[in-house]
Copies of this chain bind each other. A is one copy, B any other.
Amino acid sequence: MFSFPSFSNYNVSMFEFEVMAEDGHARAGIFSTPHGKLITPVFAPVGTQATVKTVTPAQLKDLGTSLVLANTYHLYLRPGDELIAKLGGIHEFMQWHNPMLTDSGGYQVFSLSQTRKIDEDGVTFKSHIDGSTHRFTPERSIQIQENLGADIIMAFDECSDPYDTETIRNAMRHTHNWAEQSLKAHSRTDQALFGIIQGGVDLRLREQSAEFISALPFNGIAIGGLSVGETKMEMFKVLETIHPILPIQKPHYLMGVGTPEDLINGIAHGIDIFDCVLPTRLARHYSAFSRGGRKNMMNGMYAADKKPIDEQCDCYTCQTFSRAYIRHLIMAKETLASTLLSIHNINALVKLIEEIRDLILQGKFRENIPHLLEIWSHNSQRVNFN
């Protein structure tokens, strides 16, 4: 329908994933994309509506962000994927010229539990904006994602309740059929297509799903349906179980995860890519990651505190402002508080991952896991953000 800009740098090494070093299951790699080499492990902040909320692309780049996720469901509804294609694609639209990833739209659509109807071929749903009726199928999701034009796009899948076996089985059947249909529908050679493993917290089903998805010619493998209400133990049990099945030559992407300790543990379980709304959503709730534990910056104890949020943090916020000032902005309902806290929280994850990558390259990650967890483990209250 639209002519896409020709991709002059395309060559056989496109989407090559080179593992530079391993340390246990943890890997340090490079995933090549049309918008540059993605250094892994990597954390992607979420730009739901083609913007990482309250932060400019220049600020994101300054703090070392390399990958940004945008949501297909939201952009399909507003401003529309066809408009974004006409305007030159998602990178040009939001002026993020580094790698980008779009989800399939499935997760958001299935979250509309009151207003969507799933069948074997797809999902019919009502827009949260105006109530109008829409339908996603694997073909439609891929078509929309091709219009958006991210470097990494996702197969259409169904994320189910993690505990109900009947529901999980149905969702898995859909996910597997739709994975094959997504592969068939995909036509842009300048976009990597990742498949998604489902299976709830049922280890047997997870194994089956991992085997099925791993056997297909995807450019990467994602693990979906986690961080949706299950315990940390259950999540890592799933990662442990499927790890031997995952193809080592492809990047592994744990969807919707994000706390500092989840990144540490996820990388230890062989994960290369993470995304989460947590750093920006916590920021809008005035909560800050820090060495030693999550801080509620609205707390009166910070009212006259000259120190930065985290004394070891190198972000613009911590290098510039006091806790007292951040708290003042919060109390005065100034949105700059969200901006400064988003910069801080994204930076915390980006820099933690950089530190972990260095440790992997030195073969010192595994021995440092207890130390890293000691520093960062008080940043988890389980939060069902996605």
Q: A315-354: which residues lie under 8 A (CB-CB) from chain B?
A: 316, 320-322, 324-325, 327-329, 331-332, 334-336, 338-340
Q: B336 to A53, Cβ gap below 8 A?
A: yes
Flag whether A86 is at the interface (Cβ < 8 A).
Answer: yes
- Nearest CB of B to A264, in Å: 30
**Chain A contact patch, size range:** 35 or more
Q: A339 to B56, Cβ gap below 8 A?
A: yes
Flag whether A20 is at the interface (Cβ < 8 A).
Answer: no
Flag whether A51 is at the interface (Cβ < 8 A).
Answer: yes
Flag whether A49 is at the interface (Cβ < 8 A).
Answer: yes
- Nearest CB of B to A94, in Å: 7
- Nearest CB of B to A106, in Å: 21
Selected from B54, B93, B321, B331, the residue in CB contact (under 8 A) with A335 is B54
Q: A79 to B324, Cβ gap below 8 A?
A: yes
- Chain B residue nearest to A284 (CB atoms) is B335
Residues of A within 8 A of B (CB): 49-51, 53-58, 74, 78-79, 83, 86-88, 93-95, 303-304, 306, 316, 320-322, 324-325, 327-329, 331-332, 334-336, 338-340
Which 9 A-B residue pairings sit nearest by Cβ, starting from the closest?
A49-B332, A79-B328, A51-B336, A95-B320, A335-B335, A51-B334, A54-B335, A87-B324, A93-B325
